[in-house]
Amino acid sequence: MIVSMTLELKDIPGQLVLALAPISELHGNIMSVVHQHEEKTPRGTIPVQVTFEIDQGVLDELIEKLEKSGVGVARVGEERLRSSVSVVLIGHIIHSDIGDTIDRIDKTGFAEVVDLSLSMPAIEKTSSAYLVINAEGENELKNALEILREVAIKKDLLMIEPIRLNSEAA
């Protein structure tokens, strides 16, 4: 499973290593570490966001290890939907059933519409929407986009996707 944790470190040298070592010891694969040294908590500790892949069975052991070594565990969450894409839709978005459009993504089980902003200047005029779709991985995201493309063609919506070369690893 992929886990995202917010840890709180004491503001003394050597704390980051102390926090990351137990993850490696339990064969976790660290994917990202965001260390915000200038943003202290009211408690005077330094928050660190760590995302890593780890076996679910050792999660409790990990939290115990961290707390024993003096690292505070402020938040633990599962990161299910790791990939994200933004798209813009233009057309008769409401009258072509926005609920259905979103459903088509949500009911895949591997992707969800997690953000939606709408702009409707006037009745009879085309409206515009900004959507964020999250998915379990890059392939699932591609599938979700393919579904949305088909829906957009059927509903006569213009779909604006992000540039592609930039997002694909070279």
Partner 1 sequence: MKTVRLSLIGFGAVGQGVAQAILQKKEILKGQGIDLCVVGISDSKGSEINARGIDLKSALLRKKQKGTVAKSNDSAFDIIRNVEHEIVVEATPTNIKNGEPGLSNMSAAFNSGRHVVTSNKGPLALCFSQLKEAAEDNGVFFRYEATVGGAVPIFNLIHESLAGNRVIGIEGILNGTTNYILTRMEQERLPYELVLKEAQELGIAETDPTYDVEGIDSACKLVILANSVFGQAATYRDVEVTGITKITPEALELASKNNYVVKLICEAGNGTLTVAPRLVPKKHPLAVGGTLNVASILTDLAGRITISGKGAGSIETASSILSDILYIARNS
3-class secondary-structure state, position 151? helix
- The kind and range of the H/E element at 75 are strand 72-78
Q: Out of 126, 138, 142, 149, point to the residue binding partner 1 (CB under 8 A).
A: 126
Check residue 47 and give left, alpha or beta (phi > 0: left; psi -120 to 50: alpha).
beta
* Two structure tokens written together for 90: 């233009």
- The nearest distance, CB 170 to partner 1, in angstroms, is 6
3-class secondary-structure state, position 109? coil
Nearer to partner 1, 30 or 160 (CB): 160
Q: Out of 24, 36, 119, 139, point to the residue binding partner 1 (CB under 8 A).
A: 119
What's the start-to-end Cα distance of the chain, in Å? Answer: 27
Q: What single DSSP character describes residue 126?
A: P
| Residue 130 in the binding site for partner 1 (CB under 8 A) | yes
Residues 1 to 40: which contact partner 1 by CB under 8 A? none
Q: Out of 15, 83, 101, 128, point to the residue binding partner 1 (CB under 8 A).
A: 128
Q: Is 8:71 a contact under the CB 8 Å cutoff?
A: yes
- Report the C-alpha gap between 131 and 112 in whole angstroms: 10
Tell me which stretch binds partner 1 (CB under 8 A): 13-21, 68-76, 100-108, 117-125.
Answer: 117-125
Nearer to partner 1, 6 or 126 (CB): 126
Q: Out of 5, 19, 50, 87, point to the residue binding partner 1 (CB under 8 A).
A: 87
Q: Is 104:159 a contact under the CB 8 Å cutoff?
A: no
Amino acid 5 reads: M
Q: Is 36:46 a contact under the CB 8 Å cutoff?
A: yes
Tell me which stretch binds partner 1 (CB under 8 A): 42-50, 75-83, 113-121, 142-150.
Answer: 113-121
Q: Site map for partner 1, 131-170, x if CB under 8 A?
A: ---------------------------x-xxxxxxx---x
Binding site for partner 1 (CB under 8 A): 86-88, 90-91, 117, 119-121, 125-130, 158, 160-166, 170
